[in-house]
Every structure is written in structure tokens, then in C-alpha cells.
């Protein structure tokens, strides 16, 4: 019986959760001042008919997952039950979800995303680079591999809000509140040379961490 109850709750969450997410985030964004700092640099590749890559910390996924609605965005969601909820929420916002993560189906998800990017243009690919389980603020290699294979720059991105709730989760996920001021920042991109081997990606990974954490510093200075 407990197992059946859990499955029923998971099924309910999969169907109802994305609707609640979209309705709530519409309320938040409609009642808030929304600002973008430097995002045209990120959009330039997709707007020019190519591909753009953006990396965020997992902490930003609730606000970030809604901020870029209206654009052709492909994003990765875990193969876990929580990932199913995330995938449906992405679809409701008009995004293209790819299932996979560093812990469950990562290689398959990365391959699927790479195939999608190679066959489509005018696309933005986004990924929480320390997800789905952390450790927080330490990126994994997936987006760097995409940047190398696609031969396009990888932009660090931060989405933060003045009024917010931080969940007691491993990443302190941020939930923005209505009647707010929300800002998205884009940092200097990282370019991974096409001849770079997987074993030599560590310096680029460390630099991605540094640039993302610089945006964290900037966001906390703006909204302490």
C-alpha cells in the first residue's frame, strides 16, 4: 500500500506540478520588474541561425527555466521521477527536453542533445552544470564537451531575484516571489578548442566554475 500511494502521488505530481509551476511563474514575472544584463551575447549565435550554449547553477533552475520562454531552447532533465516533472514543465514553457543527467543516462542524454544541435539551427541549449545531485557550485563536463563538439562558446548565466525563498536542498534552490525584481546576467564565454581531449578539460571546468561563481558574487551584491 505505501508503494501504491507513492506511485499515485508521483503520477499526480507529474500531471499537476508543471501546470502549477507555469501558472505561478507567470504570476511572478507579470508582477515583477525583469532585467537582462548581457544576454544579447548569449542570444547572438541562435539569432544568427546557429547554436548558443548557456550554463547555470542548479540553484537557478526554477527562475531560469521560465526566464528564456519564447525562445527555441533545448534543456536536459533527469531520468528520475523528479526529472519527469521537470521535463513536462519544460514542455509547458515551450522548451525541448532531453532526458538524461550526469547520474542517470548522462551519456545517452548528451549524445541526444548533441545530435539535436547538429540537426537544428537557431537553438539555445541550457544545462544546470552542477546537477542533478551536486556537489553545488562544481560543474561537470557535459556542457564543455558540447561546446567543444559544436565549436561554439559556452556562456555562464545567473538568474537571481531580490525577494526569494531558498529551499533546504543540497543546492539551496531559489524560488522567486511575486512583485519582485529579477535579473539575468551573462558572463564572459569559455571557448574549448576542438582538439581538446576529455582528459584535458579540467582547466576549462575550473574556469567555468570561477566565472559562474563570479556571477553569484555579482548577484548577491545586487540583491544581498
CA distance 184 to 197: 32
Kind and range of the H or E element at 109?
A: helix 106-119
Phi, psi of 197 (to 5 degrees): -85, 160
Partners of 125 in the β-ladder: 53, 74
The per-residue DSSP string of 28-54 comes to HHHTSEEEEESHHHHHHHHHTTSEEEE
**Residue-level pLDDT, tens digit, the chain, 224 residues:** 456 566 655 555 566 777 888 899 999 999 999 999 999 999 999 999 999 999 999 999 899 988 988 888 887 766 666 666 666 766 776 677 776 555 554 577 788 888 888 888 898 988 889 977 889 999 999 899 999 999 999 999 999 999 999 999 999 999 999 999 999 999 999 999 999 999 999 999 999 999 999 999 999 999 99
CB 25 within 8 A of CB 99: no
| Domains of the chain in sequence order | 2-222 (3.40.1130)
CB 161 within 8 A of CB 180: yes
* pTM of the predicted protein model: 0.86
Amino acid at each position: 500500500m505505501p508503494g501504491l500511494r507513492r506511485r499515485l502521488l508521483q503520477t499526480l505530481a507529474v500531471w499537476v506540478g508543471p501546470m502549477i509551476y507555469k501558472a505561478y511563474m507567470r504570476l511572478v514575472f507579470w508582477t515583477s520588474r525583469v532585467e537582462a544584463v548581457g544576454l544579447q551575447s548569449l542570444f547572438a549565435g541562435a539569432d544568427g541561425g546557429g547554436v548558443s550554449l548557456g550554463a547555470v547553477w542548479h540553484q537557478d533552475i526554477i527562475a531560469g527555466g521560465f526566464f528564456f520562454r519564447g525562445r527555441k531552447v533545448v534543456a536536459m532533465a533527469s531520468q528520475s521521477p523528479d526529472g519527469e516533472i521537470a521535463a513536462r514543465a519544460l514542455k509547458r514553457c515551450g522548451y525541448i527536453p532531453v532526458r538524461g543527467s550526469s547520474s542517470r543516462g548522462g551519456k545517452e542524454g548528451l549524445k541526444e542533445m548533441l545530435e539535436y544541435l547538429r540537426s537544428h539551427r537557431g537553438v539555445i541549449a541550457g544545462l544546470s552544470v552542477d546537477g542533478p545531485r551536486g556537489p553545488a557550485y562544481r560543474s561537470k563536463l557535459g556542457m564543455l564537451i558540447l561546446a567543444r563538439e559544436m565549436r561554439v562558446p559556452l556562456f555562464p548565466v545567473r538568474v537571481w531575484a531580490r525577494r526569494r525563498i531558498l529551499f533546504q536542498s543540497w543546492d539551496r534552490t531559489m524560488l522567486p516571489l511575486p512583485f519582485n525584481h529579477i535579473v539575468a546576467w551573462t558572463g564572459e564565454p569559455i571557448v574549448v578548442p576542438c582538439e581538446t581531449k576529455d582528459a584535458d578539460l579540467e582547466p576549462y571546468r575550473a574556469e567555468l566554475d570561477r566565472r559562474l561563481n563570479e556571477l553569484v558574487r555579482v548577484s548577491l551584491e545586487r540583491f544581498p
